[in-house]
Structure 1
Amino acid sequence: MKLKKWLSVTAIGLLTAGVLAACGAGEGTSNGGASSDDKDKKVLVMGTSADYPPFEYIDTAKGDSEAIGFDVDLAKAIGKKLGYDVQVKDMEFGGLIPALQSNKVDLVLAGMTPTEKRKKNVDFSDVYYEAKNMIVSKKDAPIKNAEELKGKTVGVQTSSIQADEAKEIAKEVDGVNVTTRDRIPELIQEMKSNRIDAAIIEDTVAKGYVNKDKSLQMSDTGRPDSSKGSAIAFPKDSKLTNDFNRELKKMKENGELDKLIVKWFDDQK
């Protein structure tokens, strides 16, 4: 009986030690996006939708498997200044805010506009880049402004600010049919396959596609409120918002942000 009791106590002790060791092994790292306010944490998980060059994309032509781009460089630059390593997690755009809310990621950089609707669910940094929405269409069937979308089907990315603008256009212009896709390349392919007539895409991203594909062209929507800004999204009440804002301000003042803009956007203009 004594031997059995000693073995049981020893087994329990070993099991407890194993559990504690397993728990301790994860300290100082982000386990898929745990609380971003952990003082010991040295890794931040950045959520993005890597289909939005030059903001974020995967250069499959070069055989790359990791996301690169302006947003990725910006996040890593600020993270380094704050003492964090930034890891990038690619997902569909519509899942980014839910991922923040469920602590699967610590921040989101995805060319995201800080709308009032989004601000109800997450906090945003200051705007780091200004952009404008454009209509992309085929050169052999050009659409030059929002009015020419009458009776047409226009594609937008799911849960994007462009989707909101398309809905507003549909209220103002008769017969506009709005359809959504999860990824920008899907919109381009749908257009080239004549399943949609046009797509509304942010200007810098649109320029990248038009420059690479001479069958495409882009035009201004002609609407006064089509200019949008991009900001970094964080979980509600995260201390990272102020930390990132502080470093973002410094980068704007010392020219670091301008250098990143030139690096990623200069060949798009």
Structure 2
Amino acid sequence: MKKTLQFIALIILAFGLVACGTQNTTNTANTASTSNSTGGSEAPAEAQTGLDAIKEKGKIVLGTSAEFPPYEWHNIEGGKDEIIGVDIEIGKAIAEHLGVELEIKDMSFDGLLAGLNVGEMDMVIAGLAATEERAKSVDFSQPYYSGKEALLVREEDKDKYKTQDDLAGLTIGVQLGTYPETYANEHFNADIKALQDNNNIVMELQNKTFDAVFMDMDVCEKFASLQEGLAVIDIGAEGDEGTSVAVKKGNTELLKEIDAVVADLKSKDQVKTWIQEFSDYAGE
């Protein structure tokens, strides 16, 4: 029952954000403040995102899109809305390493890199694949995780699709601006429909608007654990270039510090541990 309630809460939150437009909240738990934004073209007053500026401000702003469990999502418990997940823990580790607080800015995925480049945030951690195209506009840390993509389907369809060829003529849901969207458009002979919010994408799958959803396998597995009637299929899709932290182009001092944190986390297998922990937590 808890799985169903938590999934419904995610969907309600997604609709609430769409209905309310821009919404700002503050959460000081775990030394992190949180704000929600639909993005914008104007740079804030604190547009300097270099390492010295971050230390002077005493905080580092993390941009993310919090509907991507187990990497980041809104955990609503006891009337409290908190953004949690693997990427948030990485952000906390970077902030601790720099000796500053972490502020989380939540916005639509397709607006993150534009927001980074106009100074709305200092870094982006959002299950972001370090593609060659994205690397033209931002700089990436070394990958902190390499996964693979999979298909999320309704339980009754789990035996229908085994390879990419089986997807011909289907309607496939993907998240706008992601590696799965690019891959699906290049490799699937199907009608690819891109939406901003993963919760809405999964809802359309359940409503039978979409025949399947294509996304990161960890995320597929998490949605399948949150809601009965869904199944995950490995269709042999190629993985992305690795999931990395993004910073503004030329922000080399900050990137060097982030790389040091990522290397330390990887040496301890901490990222894999967090993935397992938050996968288990989201499925409770």
- Structure 2 letter corresponding to 1:235: K
- Structure 2 letter corresponding to 1:148: D
Give per-residue Cα distances to partners, 1:38-73, cap 9 Å, x unaligned. 152311110000000110000125433231111001
Residue 55 of structure 1 corresponds to 71
Moved more, 88-97 or 142-151: 142-151
Shift of 1:106: 0.7
Confirm whether residue 134 of structure 1 aligns to residue 150 of structure 2.
Answer: yes
The 1:77–1:166 alpha-carbon spacing in structure 2 relative to 1, beyond 3 Å, is same
Confirm whether residue 160 of structure 1 aligns to residue 184 of structure 2.
Answer: no
Aligned equivalents of 2:125 and 2:279: distance in 1?
16
Residue 226 of structure 1 corresponds to 239
Confirm whether residue 213 of structure 1 aligns to residue 227 of structure 2.
Answer: yes
Confirm whether residue 115 of structure 1 aligns to residue 131 of structure 2.
Answer: yes
Shift of 1:187: 0.8
Does the Cα contact within 8 Å between 1:45 and 1:86 map onto a contact in 2? yes
Aligned equivalents of 2:269 and 2:150: distance in 1?
28
Confirm whether residue 242 of structure 1 aligns to residue 256 of structure 2.
Answer: yes
Confirm whether residue 104 of structure 1 aligns to residue 117 of structure 2.
Answer: no
Aligned equivalents of 2:60 and 2:267: distance in 1?
25
Residue 125 of structure 1 corresponds to 141
- SS of alignment partner, residue 260 of structure 2: helix
Confirm whether residue 149 of structure 1 aligns to residue 167 of structure 2.
Answer: yes
The 1:177–1:115 alpha-carbon spacing in structure 2 relative to 1, beyond 3 Å, is same
Aligned equivalents of 2:213 and 2:254: distance in 1?
35
The structure that has the greater radius of gyration is 1
Does the Cα contact within 8 Å between 2:222 and 2:279 map onto a contact in 1? no
- SS of alignment partner, residue 115 of structure 1: coil
Does the Cα contact within 8 Å between 2:86 and 2:275 map onto a contact in 1? yes
Aligned equivalents of 1:33 and 1:264: distance in 2?
33
Shift of 1:145: 2.7
Confirm whether residue 191 of structure 1 aligns to residue 205 of structure 2.
Answer: yes
Aligned equivalents of 1:195 and 1:259: distance in 2?
35
TM-score (structure 2 length as normaliser): 0.77
Confirm whether residue 84 of structure 1 aligns to residue 97 of structure 2.
Answer: no
Does the Cα contact within 8 Å between 1:33 and 1:105 map onto a contact in 2? no
Residue 11 of structure 2 corresponds to none
Aligned equivalents of 2:240 and 2:248: distance in 1?
25
- Structure 1 letter corresponding to 2:186: E
The 1:33–1:178 alpha-carbon spacing in structure 2 relative to 1, beyond 3 Å, is farther
Aligned equivalents of 1:236 and 1:107: distance in 2?
11
Does the Cα contact within 8 Å between 2:146 and 2:239 map onto a contact in 1? no
Q: What is the percent sequence identity of the aligned residues?
A: 28
Number of paired residues? 234
- Structure 2 letter corresponding to 1:73: E
- Structure 1 letter corresponding to 2:47: A
**Residue of structure 1 aligned with 2:89, choices 67, 73, 82:** 73
Give per-residue Cα distances to partners, 1:83-120, cap 9 Å, x unaligned. 12111010000000000011011100000000000000
Aligned equivalents of 1:221 and 1:144: distance in 2?
5
TM-score (structure 1 length as normaliser): 0.81
RMSD over aligned CA atoms reads 2.0
Does the Cα contact within 8 Å between 1:32 and 1:105 map onto a contact in 2? no
